[in-house]
Amino acid sequence: MEFTFEVLKNTRGILSKIIENTSVEELNKVPAGFNNNIIWNIGHLVVTEQLLAYKLSGLEIKISETLVSKYRKDSKPDGDVSEEEIAEIQGLLLKSLAGTENDFNYGVFKNYNAYTVSTTGNTLNNIDEALQFILVHEGIHYGYILALLKAVKN
């Protein structure tokens, strides 16, 4: 899983730079033809990783329930996200992942409630499979974020 965490860290580092180099207005903009915005996608990645790794392992998530309800699957932007919340999400990008990697390395994830993901139809049966899917999921949203970035910068 070392490589999986390395790729996730690199991707999240790129997402952090996108936040730094994009205005609050652009992060919040939902361009024509899109259902959501850049900051929703980034918040969604933080939330999904926590739910797939911790919640399905029967463990407490390390982020607020407010963020979960705002960025979970089937949610959508409900108004502009403040600079403070953007900073919180940016901080969680690497902090939450570092916590997950640490907990993984210490064997915290012992149990797992099997879950079938809607995007691919695969069933996640353990933390290793969850982390592999998290990697795929983040790649999908990274591509979507790049398309959103292009749309808001034009």
Q: What percent of the chain has pLDDT over 70?
A: 100
Better-predicted residue by pLDDT, 119 or 18: 18
pTM of the entire predicted model: 0.97
Whole-number pLDDT of residue 79 = 94
- Average pLDDT, stretch 2-27? 98
Q: How confident is the model over 119-135, as pLDDT tens digits?
A: 899 999 999 999 999 99
Q: How far apart are CA 99 and CA 76, in angstroms?
A: 26
Q: How far apart are CA 6 and CA 26, in angstroms?
A: 28
Bridge partners (DSSP) of residue 123 are: 116
Q: How far apart are CA 141 and CA 143, in angstroms?
A: 5
* Segments forming the whole domain that contains residue 65: 2-153
Q: How confident is the model over 26-78, as pLDDT tens digits?
A: 999 999 999 999 999 999 999 999 999 999 999 999 999 999 999 999 999 99
Average pLDDT, the chain: 97
Q: How far apart are CA 116 and CA 106, in angstroms?
A: 26
What is the domain count for the chain?
A: 1
Whole-number pLDDT of residue 9 = 98
- Average pLDDT, stretch 73-95? 97
Q: How far apart are CA 73 and CA 20, in angstroms?
A: 25
Residue among 125, 98, 93 nearest 19 (CA): 93
| CATH code where residue 92 lies | 1.20.120.450
Whole-number pLDDT of residue 154 = 77
Whole-number pLDDT of residue 59 = 98
